[in-house]
């Protein structure tokens, strides 16, 4: 008899606990049900390099993707090389221009994840700094990121994610690299502040080390291979990164519903050497 009463109490307590758990949003379990196969992902910079790697990775996981860049030709070539329409859409926009950003999100409609890999890098020592070039780089990296976050509101699913791209130069600057360092480091601050302001939407940043992308043709030209070989010898992983290596970090940040305000370093150990 006593055992039966105790059993009834146990069941009652279990029922109550279950009710409290379901009703309490603060204890909500992250079930990560919003996987990428049902997602629409916007990749600013998706026509080249790391952005193209991210587009490839999310398409492999069943998502649809919108590629954004300034060059119509580059967008067309990339779309053709990937799945093409309807799973790949392209929008020409210069995200340093606010009107382009507004138009771009109007064309995109509602979506789940924003990835920003657009951006340029430039070297200049402080004594010979062209301030107009400095302003252009900050526009391209920081102001564009702010404009994209601002105008994504209302279109980006609440609880979705924004992932920016910074770079190893923010932590390990080289002489002549102060602009890149300042821009990269500023994205960490922006990310942490937006994570607090936009929650439950998550905001993170990937900080890549050296990655084999077309940007190096501009940065180093014919010296590229030699510079890479030297760096590869120093790196613990003994090689330069690929766009596919880095793309995994963006996929993780889109899928991990308990990760926000994080700088994820994917650099083959470059920060250590």
Interaction site with ligand NAP (CB under 6 A): 44-45, 47-51, 68-71, 74, 93-96, 117-121, 140, 144, 165, 167-168, 208, 210-211, 213-215
Long-range contacts, stretch 185-192, CB < 8 angstroms, 24+ apart: 186/138, 186/141, 186/142, 187/141, 187/142, 187/145, 188/263, 190/142, 190/145, 190/146, 190/149, 190/164, 191/164, 191/261, 191/262, 191/263, 192/261
With a CB cutoff of 8 Å and minimum separation 6, the contacts of 258 are 30
Tokens of 115: 């990835």
Could you tell me the smallest distance in angstroms from the CB atom of residue 110 to ligand NAP?
21
Could you tell me the smallest distance in angstroms from the CB atom of residue 238 to ligand NAP?
17
Q: How far is the C-alpha of 90 from the C-alpha of 52, rounded, in Å?
A: 12
Could you tell me the smallest distance in angstroms from the CB atom of residue 209 to ligand NAP?
6
Tokens of 226: 């030699």
β-pairing, 111-116 vs 88-92, is: unpaired
Task: Name the residue whose CB lies closest to ligand NAP.
Answer: 49
Could you tell me the smallest distance in angstroms from the CB atom of residue 208 to ligand NAP?
4
With a CB cutoff of 8 Å and minimum separation 6, the contacts of 261 are 191, 192, 195, 196, 203, 204
Nearer to ligand NAP, 39 or 163 (CB): 163
Output phi, psi for 195, to 5 deg: -60, -40
Could you tell me the smallest distance in angstroms from the CB atom of residue 256 to ligand NAP?
20
Nearer to ligand NAP, 161 or 169 (CB): 169
Could you tell me the smallest distance in angstroms from the CB atom of residue 181 to ligand NAP?
11
Could you tell me the smallest distance in angstroms from the CB atom of residue 22 to ligand NAP?
42
Burial track 188-198 (b if 16+ CB lie within 10 A, e otherwise): bebbbebbeeb
Nearer to ligand NAP, 9 or 100 (CB): 100
């Amino acid at each position: 008899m006593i055992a039966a009463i105790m059993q009834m109490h146990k069941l009652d307590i279990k029922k109550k606990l279950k009710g409290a758990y379901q009703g309490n949003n603060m204890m909500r379990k992250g079930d990560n049900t919003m996987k990428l196969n049902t997602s629409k992902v916007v990749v600013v910079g998706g026509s080249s390099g790391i952005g193209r790697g991210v587009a490839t990775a999310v398409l492999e996981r069943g998502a649809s993707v919108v590629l954004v860049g300034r060059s119509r030709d580059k967008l067309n070539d990339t779309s053709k090389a990937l799945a093409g329409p309807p799973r790949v859409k392209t929008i020409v926009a210069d995200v340093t221009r606010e009107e382009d950003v507004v138009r771009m999100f109007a064309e995109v409609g509602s979506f789940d994840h924003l990835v920003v890999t657009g951006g340029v890098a430039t070297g200049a020592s402080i004594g010979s700094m062209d301030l107009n070039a400095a302003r252009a780089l900050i526009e391209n990296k920081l102001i564009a990121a702010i404009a994209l976050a601002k105008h994504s509101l209302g279109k980006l699913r609440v609880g979705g994610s924004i992932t920016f791209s910074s770079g190893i130069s923010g932590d390990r600057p080289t002489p002549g690299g102060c602009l890149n360092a300042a821009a990269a480091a500023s994205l960490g601050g922006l990310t942490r502040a937006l994570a607090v302001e936009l929650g439950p939407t998550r905001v993170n940043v990937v900080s890549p080390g050296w990655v084999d992308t077309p940007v190096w043709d501009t940065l180093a030209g014919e010296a590229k291979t030699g510079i890479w070989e030297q760096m590869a010898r120093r790196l613990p992983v003994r090689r330069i990164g690929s766009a596919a290596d880095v793309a995994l970090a963006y996929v993780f940040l889109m899928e991990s519903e308990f990760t926000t305000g994080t700088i994820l370093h994917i650099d083959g150990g470059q920060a250590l050497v």
